């Protein structure tokens, strides 16, 4: 497209536009981009012209068209904001500045860069939604020419398009751009699937033309008999939407019954409902397939009635009923508010109008509370790329939430404080668990308490990015405080055991050595298990000599250093081995004397001893020649210590961990390793490896632990 063609295109819907303004912008862009080339080999200035043409198809106002022409000048040329403001006005300069990526913030990961760029985009569109319109048009033209870049880049950009820009286009209701972006990205990411669906649609189109025309004629005659003037058309669903439905429902193409949708456009809203009544009285309805988006519009402004019936020719068909204005907004969305009317006047969108996009406010809230670009982009995708349910507050206000949302998501959607203080919920007047999935039409009432706080367990079932962001922030803050207290107490205990007076000044002297900024960071790392307490003590007193640890806490502190003592006595012999064969015990099941065992010959390693019920043995079922019939022999009076592994769940109360290790120590066990597998405000779960003599010794320790009040459960573990 050349200059004159774009000017002519804009004049078709803005006859009184001053061509000089647009021509000046076109000449300026061509001058600034002189010498720059696209991957296709074309001059770069052809790209902004095509972007402007896409927006002209949406009948956008002159400021948006000029912004599209200039949108890359700040980023890719020596143009300045002041220069744009002087030449084209402050409105255009501000819009161009919003679209530009500005300074690329440094990030170590692709996701981080994507997150930072998306942060800036959201901040820009929060001021003026036209920034997003230009960005979507820019992305659309780049997708149209993406075949000129290397395959790896094509896939990365296409994936980003599906995850970010398609949901954004859907959220502001621009179906035309959304559908084309989806189809182009689909073709680059899954070319074979797209081609297969294209071929099947072509076949159906050829075979089913008569059927489609018959259905359209019958619907048209039915409405005409009811004195309803309406346009009736048939529309194929997009290839990408067909593929997504096949993936979501795990069905073949032939099993889909709603490839075609039929649209009825009426002169007014009353005719929509009259037409609906006529159709429902004529044809049986498909249960659960009726949605009234006229009385309850989607957040992006979409309005229409959707219903599915067993229609003409006994075909199951989907029907959409809407007015002409609704039809226009369904295709152009928010762009319709910026388009020029026949009178030449513009329907201006104010900042107050923009604030009606609650989804944008939710994303900005996530932006405010997420410091990590990776977490931000993850939670943003959660917020954007979901189907939705519509529920009501006790006052009757409608709240739109992602499908699968719970009362906790609802609470955070109302206000962050309500989510944080949530302690219970009522759904349709009845008390319901906080993890209950909400359904369309539910009335939800959140019960709050001044002493309430988010629970870490909520993150397992919430689905909104806002809820997850707030819960994670609280957990990070809460856990850090607990780790600091635990770490400080552990370090103080070591000081007392070694006869030193504890002071924070002493700890502050080794912060640089542990590469942290403050004393609390050392305490937090000790409490979280990232730093061994004794290592901190030795860093403070490097010349201090200490005995081999005897207390349970000392055992735990030295685990990661491999200092747990084992017996030096002769090992328990194994009967059935070839003389001189090397043998070791499997880590998958930790066999102990007293267990029924079997040997597996391993090339280069000798024999590996497993318990007879070890799940790993299934992998050797087809190689019986590697199995050895073995058993425990009669060992010395003080046999070698073996590792037994237990799973423990104990209350998260002060002193519980010390009690646990004390019980193990008093019963002759020596902890060699432990791993925290789960932690919450109420309970901690751990895997603990203990040196024991045999299975009887381990069972005695388990029995002693089960008798301990703070221990909720304990059992032998067979896992790694």
User: According to the model, what pLDDT value does residue 270 have?
Assistant: 92
Please state the separation of Cα 258 from the chain's center in Å. 30
Do residues 332 and 173 lie in contact, with contact meaning Cβ atoms separated by under 8 Å? yes
Do residues 108 and 1 lie in contact, with contact meaning Cβ atoms separated by under 8 Å? no
Q: What pairing do the DSSP bridges indicate for beta strands 683-692 and 642-651?
A: antiparallel
Mean pLDDT throughout 184-192? 92
82 is catalytic: no
- DSSP assignments along 448-515, one per residue: E-TT----GGGGGT---HHHHHHHHHHHHHHHHHHHHHHHHHHHHHHHHHTT----HHHHHTTTTTTT
Say whether pLDDT at 595 is over 50.
yes
Mean pLDDT throughout 341-345? 40
Q: Which CATH number fits domain 642-716: 3.20.20.70, 3.30.70.260, 3.10.50.40, 3.40.50.1100?
A: 3.30.70.260
pLDDT digits (tens, 9 = 90+) for 536-545: 888 887 656 5
Q: How confident is the model at residue 354 (pLDDT cuts 50, 70, 90)?
A: very low
Q: What is the mean pLDDT of the chain?
A: 78
Higher-pLDDT residue of 581 and 391 is: 391
What percent of the chain shows pLDDT beyond 90? 14
61 is catalytic: no
User: According to the model, what pLDDT value does residue 185 have?
Assistant: 93
Choose the weakest-confidence range: 64-73, 151-160, 362-371, 694-703: 362-371
Domain extents in the chain: 3-172, 192-333, 474-546, 574-632, 642-716
Q: How confident is the model at residue 47 (pLDDT cuts 50, 70, 90)?
A: very high
Mean pLDDT throughout 587-592? 80
User: According to the model, what pLDDT value does residue 587 have?
Assistant: 76
Maximum C-alpha span of the chain: 105
Look up residue 155 and give its two tokens: 């896939």
- Spatial distance between the Cα atoms of 330 and 336, rounded to a whole number of angstroms: 9
- Spatial distance between the Cα atoms of 434 and 407, rounded to a whole number of angstroms: 6
Write the CATH number of the domain with boundaries 3-172.
1.10.3210.10
21, 24, 57, 75: which one is catalytic?
75
Fold of 192-333: Beta Polymerase; domain 2 (3.30.460)
76, 163, 183, 400: which one is catalytic?
76
Say whether pLDDT at 569 is over 70.
no
User: According to the model, what pLDDT value does residue 550 have?
Assistant: 45
């Amino acid at each position: 497209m050349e200059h004159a063609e774009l000017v002519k295109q804009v004049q078709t819907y803005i006859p009184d536009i001053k061509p000089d303004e647009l021509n000046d912008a076109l000449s300026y862009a061509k001058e600034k981009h002189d010498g720059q080339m696209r991957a296709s080999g074309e001059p770069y200035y052809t790209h902004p012209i095509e972007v402007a043409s896409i927006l002209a198809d949406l009948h956008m106002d002159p400021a948006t068209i000029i912004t599209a022409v200039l949108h890359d000048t700040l980023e890719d040329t020596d143009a300045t904001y002041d220069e744009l403001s002087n030449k084209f006005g402050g409105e255009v300069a501000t819009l161009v500045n919003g679209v530009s990526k500005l300074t690329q913030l440094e990030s170590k990961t692709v996701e981080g860069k994507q997150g930072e760029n998306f942060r800036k985009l959201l901040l820009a569109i929060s001021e003026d939604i036209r920034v997003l319109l230009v960005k979507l048009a820019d992305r659309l033209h780049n997708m149209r020419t993406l075949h000129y870049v290397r395959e790896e880049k094509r896939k990365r950009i296409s994936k980003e398009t599906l995850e970010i820009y398609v949901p954004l286009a859907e959220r502001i209701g621009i179906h035309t751009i959304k559908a084309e972006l989806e189809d182009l990205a689909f073709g680059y990411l899954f070319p074979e699937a797209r081609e297969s669906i294209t071929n099947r649609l072509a076949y159906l189109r050829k075979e089913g033309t008569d059927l489609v025309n018959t259905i359209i004629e019958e619907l048209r005659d039915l409405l005409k008999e009811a004195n309803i003037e309406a346009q009736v058309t048939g529309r194929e669903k997009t290839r990408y939407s067909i593929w997504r439905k096949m993936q979501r429902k795990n069905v073949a193409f032939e099993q889909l019954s709603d490839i075609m949708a039929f649209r009825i456009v009426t002169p007014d809203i009353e005719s929509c409902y009259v037409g609906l009544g006529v159709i429902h009285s004529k044809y049986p309805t498909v249960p659960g397939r009726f949605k009234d988006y006229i009385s309850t519009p989607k957040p992006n402004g979409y309005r229409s009635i959707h219903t599915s019936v067993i229609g003409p020719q006994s075909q199951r068909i989907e029907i959409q009923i809407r007015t002409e204005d609704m039809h226009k907004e369904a295709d152009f969305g928010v762009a319709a508010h910026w388009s020029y009317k026949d009178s030449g006047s513009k329907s201006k969108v104010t900042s107050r109008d923009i604030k009606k996009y609650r989804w944008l406010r939710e994303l900005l809230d996530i932006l405010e509370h997420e410091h990590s670009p990776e977490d931000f982009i993850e939670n943003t995708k959660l917020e954007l790329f979901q189907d939705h349910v519509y529920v009501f507050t006790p006052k009757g206000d409608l709240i739109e939430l992602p499908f699968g949302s719970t009362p906790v998501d609802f609470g955070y959607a109302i206000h962050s404080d309500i989510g944080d203080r949530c302690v219970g919920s009522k759904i349709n007047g009845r008390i319901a668990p906080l993890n209950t999935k909400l359904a369309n039409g539910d009335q939800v009432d959140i019960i709050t308490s001044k002493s309430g706080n988010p629970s870490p367990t909520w993150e397992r079932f919430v689905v909104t990015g806002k809820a997850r962001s707030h819960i994670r922030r609280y957990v990070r803050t809460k856990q850090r405080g607990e780790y600091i207290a635990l770490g400080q107490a552990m370090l103080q205990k070591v000081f007392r055991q070694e006869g030193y007076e504890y002071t924070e000044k002493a700890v502050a002297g080794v912060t640089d050595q542990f590469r942290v900024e403050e004393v609390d960071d050392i305490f937090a790392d000790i409490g979280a298990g990232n730093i061994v307490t004794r290592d901190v003590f030795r860093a403070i007193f490097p010349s201090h000599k200490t005995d081999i640890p005897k207390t349970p806490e000392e055992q735990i502190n030295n685990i990661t250093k491999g200092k747990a003592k084992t017996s030096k006595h002769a090992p328990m012999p194994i009967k059935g081995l070839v003389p001189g064969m090397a043998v070791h015990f499997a880590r998958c099941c930790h066999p102990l004397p007293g267990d029924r065992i079997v040997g597996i010959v391993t090339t280069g390693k000798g024999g590996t001893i497993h318990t007879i019920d070890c799940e790993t043995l299934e992998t050797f079922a087809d190689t019986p020649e590697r199995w050895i019939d073995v058993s425990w022999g009669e060992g010395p009076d003080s046999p070698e210590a073996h590792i037994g592994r237990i799973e423990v769940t104990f209350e998260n109360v002060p002193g519980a961990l010390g009690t646990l290790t004390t019980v193990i120590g008093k019963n002759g066990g020596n902890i060699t390793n432990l791993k925290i597998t789960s932690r919450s405000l109420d309970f901690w779960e751990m895997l603990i490896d203990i040196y024991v003599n045999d299975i009887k010794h381990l069972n005695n320790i388990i029995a002693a632990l089960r008798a301990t009040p703070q221990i909720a459960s304990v059992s032998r573990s067979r896992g790694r």
